[in-house]
Amino acid sequence: MKKLKLLLFACTAASSVSGQSSLPVYLDNTKPIEQRIEDALSRMTLEEKVAMCHAQSKFSSAGVARLGIPENWMSDGPHGVRPEVLWDEWNQAGWTNDSCIAFPALTCLAATWNPEMAARYGKAIGEEARYRNKNVLLGPGVNIYRTPLNGRNFEYMGEDPFLASQIVVPYVRGVQSNGVAACVKHFALNNQEAYRHEVNVEVSDRALHEIYLPAFKAAVTEGKAWAIMGAYNKYKGQHACHNQYLLVDVLRKMWHFDGVAVSDWGGVHDTREAIYNGLDMEFGSWTNGLTWGESNAYASYFLATPYLKLLKEGKASEKELDAKVRNILRLAFRTTMNANRPFGSFGTPEHALIGRQVAQEGIVLLKNSPATPKKEDFVLPIDFSKAKKIAVIGENAIKVMTVGGGSSSLKAKYEISPLEGIKKYAGNRAEVVFARGYVNDFLSKEGGMKHDGMVINDVVDTRPAEEITAEAVAAAKNADVVIFIGGLNKYDGQDCEGGDRKGLELPYGQDKVIAALAKANKNLAVVIISGNAVAMPWVNDAPAVVQAWYNGSEAGNALAAILTGEANPSGKLPFSFPVELKNNGAHALGQYPGDSAPAGYLNEKYSEDIFVGYRWLDKQKIKPLFPFGHGLSYTNFEYKNLKITDNGETVSVNFDLTNTGKREGSEASQVYVALPEMKIAMPVKQLKGFAKTRLSAGETRTVEIAIPKSQLSYWDESKNNFVTPTGTFEFLAGASSADLRLKGKLKF
C-alpha cells in the first residue's frame, strides 16, 4: 500500500504541472542531476529536509510524497538480499516471495583472485536487489583481516589492501549498473567485533592510508560508489559514523565523494557531531538506535526532532542540512528517479549459476599429497574407478549455512548441502554413507537451528560424543575414501557479527575426530568450511586439505565439483593461515581486543602498524601454516622468462606461464614488489599485481601485468600524502607470497 501511495503521489506531482510547458526541473530526467537537486531542494520545507536525514522504519527513510520523491529502501547484503522484515522489528514479515539466491561470502569472492567474477557477482546481486525495489544494498564490506578471531571476517575481502581494492571496484560497478547503490562498509577500522561499539582505534596515519583505507578509496574513486556506511568503533576519540577526519577530511575532501554517508544501525551518538562531521542519514530502530526502548521512536533520533529543534532555535544553520539533503537527493536521482533504471531479476537459475562459478573458483586446495608412497596415489580428485564407497563425516556436511552470522543472514530459495552435492556427483558410481562425527552443542540446547522461531535445520543429536566419534571411525574404516567436512559455523563466537572467536582451534572437538579418522583411513580429505583461518594440529596426517567457504545456495554442488575433479581448483587464499595465534601481529604485541584508556573507553593500539598478515610474517621470518596467495591445482604451472619494462606511468611485468600438467587449469599469478631501502620501516614485499590465466594442458601464454607507478608508493606522514621513492625496485612473480619463482630489478 505504501508503494502504491508513492506512485500516486508521483503521478499527482506530474499531472499538477501538465498545463505548464514542461515538468518541474527535478522531475525532468533530461536535466543535469545537479540542476535537478537544486530545484528539488528549493521546494522542500525544513521539516521535509530533516525527515530525509533519518530512518522512518527498520530499513527505510522518507522521501517527499507531495513532490513525488520516493522513499529510500535498503537491504542488508553483501551475499544476498535479506528477506523483508517488519516495519519496526528484526523479525521477518512472513512474505512468501522474498527467498533469494544466496551468493558465496566475500572471502570466497576474494579467493577467486578474479575481478571478472566480482563484476558478475555484483551485477547479479544488484539485479536481485533491484527486483525487490531496493535502492541501496548494504555492502560490500572491505575491512582488513587483521586478526583471525574477528567474527565478521567472512564478510570481508582478506588481509591485503591491493587484492581487496581490485575485487571491490567491479563489484560496486556491477551492483550500480542496476540503479542500486552499493553501500561500502564499514568505514573505517572495524577490524574486530569484540567491544565494537566502544573501542577506540589508535593507528598511525601511515598504516591507516596504506592498509586500512585503500579498498574504500578504490570503491569511491574508481568504483564511484554512491553510498558508504560508517563503522561502530571510534577513531581519534570520535565514533566513525560522525568522524571529522574520516567522513570530512578523507572521504569528502581527499576523495571527493559525492554519495551519501549513512550510519550503521545505531552507530550515531551525538546530534552536533552528526550535523557537522559528515553524516547524511541515521539508521537504527527503537529509542537507542539498536535494541531497546520505545518502539517506532524514529522521531527521537539524533538527526530527527533534536536536529529540527536546533534549526528552529537558530542554534544550527541550514547550510549543513542542505548539504546532507543534496547527497540524499543525488542518491534518489541515481536510483529510484532514474527513468532508465533496469527492472532486475530475482532468484533465477542464471544467478545461481554465477554463485556456483564464484564458489568453484574460490575454493582453495590447500594440500594434496599422495596418501601412499606411490607418487600418483592422490586422494583428490576422487577416482571413482577406485572409490566405490565414500564416507562423508562432519556436521557441516548437513548444516544450513545461509542462515546466521548476523545481518548477512539470508532466506535462501534453496541451499545444496555438501552431502547432497557429493551424493549427486557420485551418482551410481559409488556408495556415499554419512556419519555425524561431532555435534554442535548449541543445536542441542536450542532444539535445532531456528530462524524466527521456526526450526529450519533439525540436526540435533544428543548422543555422547564418544559414541558419535566411534560411529564415524567405523564408517571410515569401511570406506575407500573419507571426506571430513567441518570447520566453523555462523553462530555467536565463531563466524558471526557481534562477537569474536575465543581461539584459533576448531570447536566441538573436531581436532580429535580428524586425528582418529586419519588413523582409521589413510585416504582422508579434510574440508574446512569457514570465513577465518583455523589451527590444524593434524595437518601432517591428512593427505588432502580443502578450504571451502560459506558458499551459498550452490555450496554443495560447487564443493562436489572440486572434490570429484569436474572443476579444477584455482582459488588462492586471501589471508594467511598462521600456525598459532601468536604468529599474528595483532596478538603477538598483546593489545587485542583493547586496553582501558585514560578517557574511560577501550583503546586498541595497532602496534604492528603496517605489518598486517604476510607483511608481519615476512618481517618476523615466520613460516605460516599456509601463506597468503596459496592455492594448489590438479595440474602444475611453470613460470619462465621474466621481463620488466619501464613504460613511464606504469611498469610492465611479463613472463611465460606454462601448464605442464595433463588437464586444463587456471592460475592466479601474483607480482610482489620490494621498495628501495629507506630510513623508515618497509615490508619485505607487497602485492602490486595479479592475473588469472586459463591454460589448456601443455599450453604456454605470456602473462602481462601492468603496475601503475602510483602503486609503488608509501604514505609520507610529514607530507600527508603518498610518495613514490626513487631507487632500485625488486619485482617478484610466482604462485603465492611464499612461492615466488621469478625475480628481477628495475631502477628509476
Task: State which amino acid sits at residue 458.
Answer: D
**Tally of CA atoms within 13 A in the half-sphere of 79 that contains its CB:** 37
Kind and range of the H or E run holding 736: strand 728-736
Whether residue 397 contacts residue 561, with contact meaning beta carbons closer than 8 Å, is answered with no
212/246 Cα distance (integer angstroms): 12
User: Which residues are CB-neighbours of 710 under 8 A, at least 6 positions away?
Assistant: 722, 724
Residues in a beta bridge with 581: none
Which entry of 76, 160, 264, 500 is annotated as an active-site residue?
264
Whether residue 736 contacts residue 670, with contact meaning beta carbons closer than 8 Å, is answered with yes
Residues in a beta bridge with 367: 545
Q: How far apart are the first and last CA of the chain?
A: 65
Label residue 237 left, alpha or beta by phi (over 0 means left) and psi (-120 to 50 means alpha): left
550/322 Cα distance (integer angstroms): 42
For residues 581, 616, 161 and 694, what is the CA-based torsion angle, rounded to 10 degrees?
Answer: -90
Q: Angle at the Cα of 489 (from 487 to 495), degrees rounded to 5?
A: 105
* Residue 49 neighbours by CB distance under 10 Å: 21
517: helix, strand or coil: helix
348/718 Cα distance (integer angstroms): 53
Whether residue 289 contacts residue 267, with contact meaning beta carbons closer than 8 Å, is answered with yes
> Would you tell me the crossing angle of helices 161-176 and 214-221 to the nearest 10 degrees?
30
Q: Known catalytic residue: 264?
A: yes
Kind and range of the H or E run holding 13: helix 2-15
**Tally of CA atoms within 13 A in the half-sphere of 573 that contains its CB:** 33
Kind and range of the H or E run holding 238: strand 238-239
Whether residue 512 contacts residue 472, with contact meaning beta carbons closer than 8 Å, is answered with no
- Grid cell of 117 as nine digits: 567474477
466/468 Cα distance (integer angstroms): 5
Residues in a beta bridge with 734: 670, 740
Looking at residue 687, what DSSP letter applies? E
Residues involved in catalysis = 264
